[in-house]
Amino acid sequence: MHVVVESSRIIKPAHNADHIRPPLTTTQHIPLSVFDKVTFDTHVAVIYAFRPPTPPNSVIEEGLAKVLAEYGEYAGRFGEDSEGNRVILLSDEGVRFVEASVDTTLSNAMPFKPSPSLLDFHPSADGVEELLLVQLTRFACGSLVLGFSLHHVISDGHATSNFLVSWGRASRGLSINPLPLHDRTSLFVPRQPPQLEFEHRGVEFKSKKSRDSNTENPLKNEVVIHKAHFTKEFLSKLKAMASAGRDQPYTTFQCMVAHLWRVVTKARGLNGCETTHVRIAVDGRRRMIPAVPDGYSGNLVLWAFPRANVRELMKRPLQYAADLIRTEVAKVEDSYFKSFIDFSSSGAAEEEGLMPTADADEMVLCPNLEVDSWTRFPFYDLDFGGGSPYYFVPSYLPVEGLLILLPSFIGDGSIDAFVPLFHHNLDSFKLCCYSMD
């Protein structure tokens, strides 16, 4: 499959009388929230595939210009305010828009394998100023692949999915709903005096010295991504096994993560004395009191870190791991979010030279895992006028131990897990992946 780039240009917001927000000037900016500052400082890319009929590129481009008039951050740039703080400049400088083609049919190219070839569906994000990069790739059969790359500091998965659905609505001539809420400061005001009820050093923050002392893993270039498909029937059995004897059954997510934690740990062949943890994203929109509006356009995620001794994790039943996950995720609630706001606003992180533990340069997580669940995001609600996408996948992201879960494109309640591992651990993972022992 050879992708040929036909054109590349900048698309700027289309301001007119129909849009609520007036054009912005280069002096206006949005400060980063405490949540924006601790997220992964990198572009994150996803891929959509649409079967024909699909609207022409011009319709999708026009919709993009319209939605950017409401989502000004996406068309801006990073910069600094008068005090040297990193901010989002509302400069309307625009987003990168690339058109490309492939001289084959989508059916010949499917299913997409999690390999470096997926990067051909995106403009390169290396060294770019644009916060959003889009590529429309047309296949000979009329199918369309959308490559979407957005800088994570701009928004989390919840807010990004709102933007994508709004882009589709704008392309179909519909109103944008919900309208984005751009206020990133007044929602997260620290308490006076601060109430630091929880430890945040070593959780959301780490020492820069600890990062500098970490030696680069020589095997980082030997990571392969395996796509594991878990049927609805398998998930039901897993849930029943983990929940046996419990008044409150574990959720499918808790059981799925518990299972993957155990089988990846087994495949890695770790020393039984080691400690392993799972980093799990927790959305604060419904956990904070009062709840944050659905249209909030920034980041609002912290993390739970269930941890266990390797020997205990492997020796004890699935229920043990599921319970660890449920317990730790439950702790990340309103008081925890507010404690984090107080600590992050206190200046302690800057004074102590701390940096976020969400480190985009960390390419090997072993003995630990990170699990990103995209199962509840409405990514399949994106409709430019020809219907919902046929296929949705993350792009190629070879970070050992970074697992991504998403609903299977089959649409039957099954889940696909993208599991990056060292090549020498892959056969072992395949052997135990579907074992419930």
Catalytic positions, written as ranges: 152, 383
Helical residues (DSSP H) of 301-353, grouped into ranges = 310-315, 318-331, 334-345, 348-351
Distance (Å, whole) CA 68 – CA 61 = 11
Locate 340 and state its tokens.
């984090």
Locate 319 and state its tokens.
């229920």
Q: What is the phi-psi region of residue 142: left when phi exceeds 0, alpha when psi lies from -120 to 50, beta otherwise?
A: left
Residue 414: phi and psi, rounded to 5, are: -80, 165
Residue 381 is given by DSSP the state G
For 195-229, b/e burial (b = at least 16 CB within 10 A) is eeebebeebbbbeeeeeeeeeebeeeeebbbbebe
Distance (Å, whole) CA 82 – CA 69 = 26
Distance (Å, whole) CA 388 – CA 171 = 13
> What's the start-to-end Cα distance of the chain, in Å?
41
Cβ neighbors of 381 (< 8 A, separation 6 or more) are 161, 165, 168, 388
Residue 347: phi and psi, rounded to 5, are: 90, -5
The HSE-up count of residue 244 (CA atoms within 13 Å, CB side) is: 9
Distance (Å, whole) CA 57 – CA 44 = 23
Q: Is 256 helix (H, G, I), strand (E, B) or coil?
A: helix
Give bridge partners of residue 394 from the DSSP assignment.
46
Locate 32 and state its tokens.
């980063």
Residue 116: phi and psi, rounded to 5, are: -60, -20
Question: For residues 11, 5, 78 and 370, what is the CA-based torsion angle, rounded to 10 degrees?
Answer: 120
Distance (Å, whole) CA 264 – CA 120 = 29
